[in-house]
A = this chain, B = another copy of it.
Amino acid sequence: MIIVLKPNLSRRDESAVIREIRKLGYKPHIMRGVARTVIGAIGDELTHQSLESLPATFPNAVESVTPVQRRYKLVSREAHPANSTVDVRGQVIGGKKIQIMAGPCSVESEKQLLSTAVAVKSAGATILRGGAFKPRTSPYEFQGLGLKGLKLLDKARRETGLAIITELLSEDHAEMVAEFTDIIQIGARNAQNFQLLIAAARTGKPVLLKRGLSMRIEEWLLAGEYVLSNNNPNLMFCERGIRTFETFTRNTLDLSAVPIVKKESHCPVVIDPSQGAGRADLVAAMCKGAIAVGADALLIEVHPNPAEAWSDGAQQLSLDRFAKLMDELKPFIAAAGRE
């Protein structure tokens, strides 16, 4: 920790701060600068008591306290210099091939799901997405088909061979959802629901962790740390748009998160351009951008009839539009040196 003292401090006040630093288990190292004195408090920040309360305790003596260590360990590139990969029914996420996860926002019916599954597979997707449990802003909106939806996903998996990704909303459903899915998705609203993260991790299934609406990247990486530290090495980060002041789009898709997370962490990074912009007409451009900045996979909402979707119709692509998009992406995938 770096402790910056106020200017023109008496030696007596300085000594009181130094005593407290020692008391909390750090070895103080004093540097007298031009304008003020700085103390380096040497000790392991991850195991020692935090010093962050020093400015509150010594309001007239301590100006600021800054940590030195990164707070995340297992997700960090330092801990695992090579890219890690996640294998889902033989499809590798984080390898050379860009994986496409596609399907409806909500599972609505067998016909809707299977027709979508067949279409997205034929267009090149390898993983089928579909919500059986839906987190909805209002209790009066469609909350998902639940177990019935999970069984439809399983049926689609058997019929098409696609792997499945679906969202987990409740700790109590962890085992049930794990039974029917290949990847557990943690949604943006639950990105810091640590109990849910632990429950997901413990199923042993790969976890795709969406970024919370106003989550700093450091917090996102630390939330991922809850998965890895619960003995589940199969973690993917998924950027899905952050909340800003802009109103043209529902969210602002932060593509810079891709190179940053790839640099800080070894885990694969997925982009969800459907949630990210919240507008179907932007999905194609943002998919191209995602591939160009280095994303490992895309998560795209596709529906046989977006106008009549039970949720988020504004951002879902039709089957035709999706197939066309898959063609449009090819040159960008090649340009990125991917498959």
Say yes or no: A314-B56 contact (C-beta < 8 A), given A172-B172, A334-B335: yes
Number of chain copies forming the complex: 4
A165 CB within 8 Å of chain B: no
A189, closest chain B residue (CB): B192
Interface size for A (C-beta < 8 A) is 111
Nearest CB of B to A227, in Å: 9
Q: Does A176 touch B at the CB level, under 8 Å?
A: no
Query: How many angstroms from the CA of A226 to the CA of B47 in the assembled complex?
Result: 39
B138 touches A56 (CB 8 A): no
**Interface status of A122 (Cβ within 8 A of chain B):** no
Known contacts A34-B42, A68-B33; is-contact A279 B137 (Cβ 8 Å): no
Cβ-based interface call for A146 (8 A): no
Q: Which of A170-229 contact B (CB under 8 A)?
A: 170-172, 189-190, 192-196, 212-214, 216-219, 222-223, 225-226, 229
Instruction: Report if A326 contacts B (CB, 8 A).
Output: no
Contacts A248-B260, A281-B263, A314-B55 given; indicate if A36 touches B69 (C-beta within 8 A).
yes
CA gap between A254 and B253 in the complex, in Å: 7
CB-contact partner of A52 in B219, B249, B313, under 8 A: B313
Chain B proximity of A61: nearest CB distance (Å): 12
Task: A36 to B4: give the CA distance in the assembly, Å.
Answer: 19
Bound Cα distance from A280 to B52, whole angstroms: 12
A138-B225, A256-B282, A285-B293 known; 8 new pairs, CB 8 Å cut-off, are A24-B308, A56-B279, A140-B229, A190-B192, A216-B245, A244-B244, A289-B289, A291-B292
